[in-house]
Amino acid sequence: MEIDRAEIGTGFITEVDRYLYNNGRHYEIYEKLGAHPEKYEGNDGMYFAVWAPHGSQVSVVGDFNGWDPEANLMSSLSDSGIWETFVPGLGIGELYKYAITTRSGKILFKSDPYAFQAEYRPQTASVTADLSVFQWKDRSWMEKRMTKDPLHEPLSIYEVHLGSWRKKNRAEKDGFYTYTEAAHELADYILEMGYTHVELMGIAEHPYDGSWGYQVTGYFAPTSRYGTPEEFMYFVDYLHRKGIGVILDWVPAHFPKDAHGLADFDGEPCYEYGDPRKGEHPDWGTKVFDYSKYEVDNFLIANALYWVDKFHVDGLRVDAVASMLYLDYGRNNGEWVPNQYGGNENLEAIEFFKHLNSVIKNRGNGAMVIAEESTAWPRVTGNQEQAGLGFTFKWNMGWMHDFLEYMKLDPYFRKYNHHKMTFGLSYFTSENYILVLSHDEVVHLKCSMIHKMPGLLEDKFSNLKLGYTFMLGHPGKKLLFMGQDFGQFHEWDEKSALDWYLSEEPLGKDLKDYVRDLLHLYKKYPALYEKDFDWEGFSWVNANDKERSIFSFIRYSKDHKRSLLFVLNFTPVERPDYRVGVPKRGAYTLVLDEKHGLYKRGEKAPSFRSVKTEWDGQEHSFSYPLPAYGAAVFRF
């Protein structure tokens, strides 16, 4: 139906909408483009609008018109590249696509880039939906989030792939948990363990399970593998009401070439760069967004805000940031195009990030933006007034690499690699870091976390407990991938559920209980999170005891009350009279060790009184029987 522009309602595309969108500033464009229930000329129906600037004819097709490209033609809105139509009588739950006739006369059937819902894979149609019906009950969480600064709050993230966290014994939908089912069991587990947030891999609609959700075709559609948009809203709402934050992985770096997706959307490069030297990732076989186009930037920024505003998510972890920042990422000489100054920086992507982060920050709702940036790009979390990109946090990939290389070593050789554990403490204030042991470290023949550890099975578990204690004490927020907290044996496989029975085996249960104690200790003591990016929050006691592979350091809170001393022995050699230097005279009470775990209220915790004996450059010291693979945390 051709629309009389003089009679349109507020839900239809206006001249102001077109102006803002074509200039990259329409942050709620998802309320206009896509499919929306509307009333026109007294009829209820569905309003459709799509950006296809190179199309010669566009129509909406579906079961309602027999998928006939001539049945519901769309009208072009001036030179905006936007097409629109109204289909009377059409409701929620209808399958549809756009039939786009290219300038060469070919007809392409494309899913809606702004669709709120998608058909269950391997089918590829979009589904009409209405997001206004869900009743949120997380007001208290959302109000508190606005008042908190995540830099000075505890942040311990449980990274989850919903499709393989747990599975049901049923054939329906491949045994996947629904969003509703997952919300209840996942919340119970997170509360038991003590994580503060869950980070979900691959929630936006994607055609191929093996991409883990990182090759997206439906940026505005929660994947139908686990249910409807309303069910995903319930997931977030339920976790919020249980005091748990929700972070989503988000992929503005690239998209796949599937025929129904964004690639050559209207027969020509539309969302991607036209030059394949800029517009394709040779490593991944995917397309790269064209950040020079206002409409593309608007699509991505509006999408980020959509998840924050419509689904109340607390943060976005931005995937593959380095691939966006560098024009030569994954490319050989001659396969990339320098910028206007001859450099390898993608100036358009840099401006995109600054724009994105400034918009989210200025909303003032406490949402985080986290960069998975694997290089030494400067000031990723720096403010834009100082030429920073403006992210809230950055994954510390350098720390992860050094930590794992050290932990893999036979303890005899650790003394020759002592610097791998101390180097991260030389730069921890340069960015707002999250220490990560993510899914990427337990796939593609990299071994599970437990099998990275040296020695016999019991040694492996002892090493992992010790390593996690070091991670807890090291400045920076924390992230563990699912299964790492109970010693999952096998590498992660998106097709199979975790081996949960291992969490009830003696060694697995002991590790799980210990990680739980670490996480509860983390939330209990502000010294472990208040000054994560400030030298006033950390000091070495002895960083140089490499012959014995022992590390000792102190974490301080803002008021220097209830500070914590860490002493960690990375060899199987017992030190029955290990002396450690301390900054003041008094009692040092053990709050956690590798055998007992966390000392609870009412338990008699061992206490050690310091004496005025200079040690480790400190005026005072005390002796402690440090076991093999010993981990000791004292409060003072």
- Catalytic residue set: 319, 372
Distance, CA of 522 to CA of 27 (rounded, Å): 37
First to last CA, the chain: 74
8-state DSSP, 125: -
User: Which of helix, strand or coil describes residue 91?
Assistant: coil
Beta-bridged to residue 609, according to DSSP, are 587
In angstroms, the Cα distances linking 562 to 518, 556, 559 are: 16, 8, 9
8-state DSSP, 105: S
| DSSP helix, strand, coil percent of the chain (3-state; round to 5) | 30, 25, 45
Beta-bridged to residue 633, according to DSSP, are 566, 592
Closest listed residue to residue 514, CA positions, set 404, 593, 401? 593
Which residue do the tokens 């994947």 mark?
A: 223
Neighbours of 358 (CB within 10 A): 13
Q: Report the 3 state secondary structure along 17-41.
A: HHHHHHCCCCCCHHHCCEEEEEEEC
Report the interhelical angle of 139-147 vs 229-241 (nearest 10°): 70
Q: Which residues of 166-182 are buried (b: 16+ CB within 10 A; e: fewer)?
A: beeeeeeeeebbbbbbb
CB 308 within 8 A of CB 316: yes
Instruction: Tell me the backbone φ, ψ of residue 293, rounded to 5 degrees.
Output: -90, 130
Host H or E run for residue 580 = strand 575-582
Contacts of 489 (CB under 8 A, 6+ apart): 448, 450, 451, 499, 502
Closest listed residue to residue 581, CA positions, set 539, 627, 628, 623? 623
Burial label, 8 (beta-carbon count in 10 A; 0-12, 13-18, 19+): middle
- The answer, yes or no, to whether the previous bond of 576 is cis (omega within 30 of 0) is no
Distance, CA of 344 to CA of 327 (rounded, Å): 5
